[in-house]
Chain A
Amino acid sequence: MKINRRKLLSLLGMSGALLSGAPLEAEQKKKNAQGGAGSEPKITAVSPKGTPPAVSLFAMAPRLETLDGKTIYMVDTGFFGGDMLLQEIQAWFQQNMPSVKTVFRKKAGPYAEDDPKLWAEIKANGNATIMAIGH
């Protein structure tokens, strides 16, 4: 529930000036100086935001015509259960698309960082990758 303290004081028969502790005369003088009785002063505030970077877009990799006979790397980024989920996906391929070869790898290094060694291996030996998982 929002409580407007000035309104509350007004209902109690008191002036909102009590909130600032300023004498009534001083408040009135201030109001008059700012354009007449009853008008609240208006101010301009500066944005606290930083400066975002421009985003360079890049084209996604061309897709495969078919997965038949292709090698797909299953990359576990390290969160709980990602390895088990990818192993079930491997089992699905074995059952439903047996011509697809799957290779399981756990990514080395912190989860938000690249693993250049693994990326090079996939580029050299794989055709596609499935990466999991955000928790």
Chain B
Amino acid sequence: MEKMGVPAAALITKAYVDLAKATAARRGMPLERITFTLHPVWGKTPAELAAMIRGPDPVTGKPMMKEITDALTVPLSAEEQKTGTQSITAGAPRFGPDTADNLQELFMNNGMTDYLPVILPTEQKIQAMLKGTSHSPDEVLRKPIQGVGYESAQWGYTVRQVAVNAVMSGCRPEYFPVILALASVGQLGLFGSTTSSSTSIVINGPIRDKLNMNYGLGALSPFAQSNATIGRSWTLMGKNLTPGGIPGDTYQGGQGNNLDYNNLVIAEDEKNSPWTPLHVQLGFKPEESVVSIFGGPDVRQGHGARGAGVAENAMFDEQISFMFGSLVGDGALVICDPLVAKRLVEQGYDTKEKLIDWLWKNTVRTAKDFRESFLAYVHLYPLALQGREPYATWYKLADSTLVPFFPRASDINFVVCGGQANAFFQVANMRHGRSASIDKWM
């Protein structure tokens, strides 16, 4: 509005002082007039809110309504009318010479690590990493752009800058095409939402075996260097290649998320899966190697052996419907052990599509429950206001009308991995974001 010549007063709760000021600065208005309120404002009665606005701004101590009216009427200072360009530095290009221990401390104390020791990125190690791709070190994967996206400022990066982070993560040069494919999708690790959302990285195609990825016993645990370091790189890139992961500023996850250490790397077991691999479902060729990103807040586990001990017990159906009913995200990534997948095929779900269609149609809630959900209030009602379907229609339905839990069947995805030790499955409360070719970065 300010750019359009309309004076504006921003009201923000005091939990976001640093974020609000940093965002304003990154967008080119460092002295934006912001009034802060107590946090949170939700759950308050009208009387409590009325008292709040008649009280002081908890940050400046000035009467809140006076501050708001002043924001709209007090003439601008010279600083507030300043135009021009400000350059921002990302800091020193190199550190040292110093001892390895001191550099480890320096990297950690400057927020460049995940607080685990890193492989120090020396020029020699970076050059070795760069041999893992045919692409030029100077090739730009993303240009820096001011004031767009969730982080308010998207930094840019090159193949070489990605290589530095790959080295730090402990990747071998042969993993580098995967890391570049990951970096090419745009959004990096440590998504800053208050929901503490994290990521799952799904890898398909021949690269899984070339890198000795583990998709068998303990597939989701730390039993393979490739699984471990590829996942770690996503977080380090989020911290370093963008201004992500700054608590109170670009990171607001209330409880945080332990998945951020590895980002739930899943190499799909295409050999033991009875279904089409994920990347083929998404339109890639079977012989292509592909990385897919899913985002959302959590993972939960269930048992998927229908008839295990009790022949009539439809455990998978019951459990997965129950799990879907308590998801808060807008998508589901179901991770099946091959034992579960094979059992589901025996039950008639010989394609992922059949199973997804069943789940989509049979996991429902009332339109009232949908409208009262967290996700709908904050994220989906604004889309309904834009006329986007199915939300626009769902907001017009009678309270008792049943609607699918997810807007589209394609918001549900299945992948297969595990050692066939027991018939467990996991549901990641995560939605597919983007997929990228790994082969392109060889």
Q: Which A residues fall within an 8 A CB radius of B?
A: 40-67, 72, 78-82, 84-89, 91-92, 96-97, 106-112, 119, 122-123, 126-135
- Closest A residue by C-beta to B44: A81
- Indicate if B6 sits at the interface (CB-CB under 8 A): yes
Stretch of B75-83, B313-321, B339-347 contacting A (4+ beta carbons < 8 Å): B75-83
* Bound complex: CA A45 to CA B123 (Å): 7
Instruction: Assess the B121–A45 pair: CB atoms within 8 A.
Output: yes
- Indicate if B115 sits at the interface (CB-CB under 8 A): no
Q: Report the interface size for chain B: residues with CB under 8 A from the other chain.
A: 107
What are 6 contact pairs spanning A and B, CB under 8 A? A43-B103, A50-B157, A56-B85, A60-B29, A84-B44, A131-B8
B121 partner residues in chain A, CB cutoff 8 A: 45-46, 48
Q: Which B residues fall within an 8 A CB radius of A?
A: 1-13, 15-16, 19-20, 25-33, 37, 39-44, 46, 49-50, 52-54, 65, 68-69, 72-76, 80-101, 103, 107, 112, 120-123, 126, 144-147, 149-150, 153-158, 161, 164-165, 168, 194, 236, 240-243, 377-379, 381-383, 385-386
B1 partner residues in chain A, CB cutoff 8 A: 61, 119, 122-123, 129, 131
Question: Smallest CB–CB gap between B440 and chain A, Å?
Answer: 21
Given A45-B94, A47-B93, A50-B240, 12 new contacts (CB under 8 A): A43-B97, A43-B103, A44-B94, A44-B98, A48-B240, A49-B91, A51-B155, A52-B89, A55-B25, A56-B83, A62-B5, A127-B7
* Bound complex: CA A134 to CA B289 (Å): 41
Instruction: Assess the B9–A130 pair: CB atoms within 8 A.
Output: yes
Instruction: Assess the B54–A92 pair: CB atoms within 8 A.
Output: yes
Selected from A80, A111, A128, the residue in CB contact (under 8 A) with B41 is: A80
Selected from A42, A51, A89, A134, the residue in CB contact (under 8 A) with B96 is: A42
Question: Smallest CB–CB gap between A84 and chain B, Å?
Answer: 6
B25 partner residues in chain A, CB cutoff 8 A: 55
Residue of A85, A127, A131 contacting most chain B CB atoms (<10 Å): A85
Question: Smallest CB–CB gap between B424 and chain A, Å?
Answer: 35
Q: What's the A-B contact tally at a CB cutoff of 8 Å?
A: 296
Question: Smallest CB–CB gap between A44 and chain B, Å?
Answer: 4
Selected from B53, B72, B87, B122, the residue in CB contact (under 8 A) with A67 is: B72
Chain B binding surface, main DSSP class? mixed
Instruction: Assess the A63–B31 pair: CB atoms within 8 A.
Output: no
Question: Smallest CB–CB gap between B384 and chain A, Å?
Answer: 8
Question: Smallest CB–CB gap between B307 and chain A, Å?
Answer: 44
Instruction: Assess the A134–B46 pair: CB atoms within 8 A.
Output: no
A78 partner residues in chain B, CB cutoff 8 A: 377-379, 381-382
* Bound complex: CA A40 to CA B205 (Å): 44
B122 partner residues in chain A, CB cutoff 8 A: 43-46
* Bound complex: CA A116 to CA B30 (Å): 23
With contacts A61-B2, A81-B43, A119-B4 known, is A47 near B154, CB below 8 A?
A: no
Instruction: Assess the A52–B155 pair: CB atoms within 8 A.
Output: yes
* Bound complex: CA A113 to CA B125 (Å): 41
Instruction: Assess the A59–B9 pair: CB atoms within 8 A.
Output: no
* Bound complex: CA A87 to CA B45 (Å): 12
Instruction: Assess the B7–A63 pair: CB atoms within 8 A.
Output: yes
- Closest A residue by C-beta to B378: A78
* Bound complex: CA A66 to CA B70 (Å): 10
With contacts A60-B76, A133-B37 known, is A48 near B164, CB below 8 A?
A: yes
A131 partner residues in chain B, CB cutoff 8 A: 1, 8-11
Instruction: Assess the B90–A55 pair: CB atoms within 8 A.
Output: no
Instruction: Assess the A80–B377 pair: CB atoms within 8 A.
Output: yes
- Closest B residue by C-beta to A44: B96
- Closest A residue by C-beta to B40: A135
Instruction: Assess the A85–B49 pair: CB atoms within 8 A.
Output: yes
With contacts A44-B96, A79-B378, A85-B37 known, is A51 near B6, CB below 8 A?
A: no
Instruction: Assess the B382–A107 pair: CB atoms within 8 A.
Output: yes
A42 partner residues in chain B, CB cutoff 8 A: 96-99
* Bound complex: CA A109 to CA B97 (Å): 50
Instruction: Assess the B29–A109 pair: CB atoms within 8 A.
Output: no
B19 partner residues in chain A, CB cutoff 8 A: 134
Instruction: Assess the A63–B72 pair: CB atoms within 8 A.
Output: yes
Selected from A54, A80, A123, the residue in CB contact (under 8 A) with B5 is: A123
Selected from A47, A106, A132, the residue in CB contact (under 8 A) with B11 is: A132
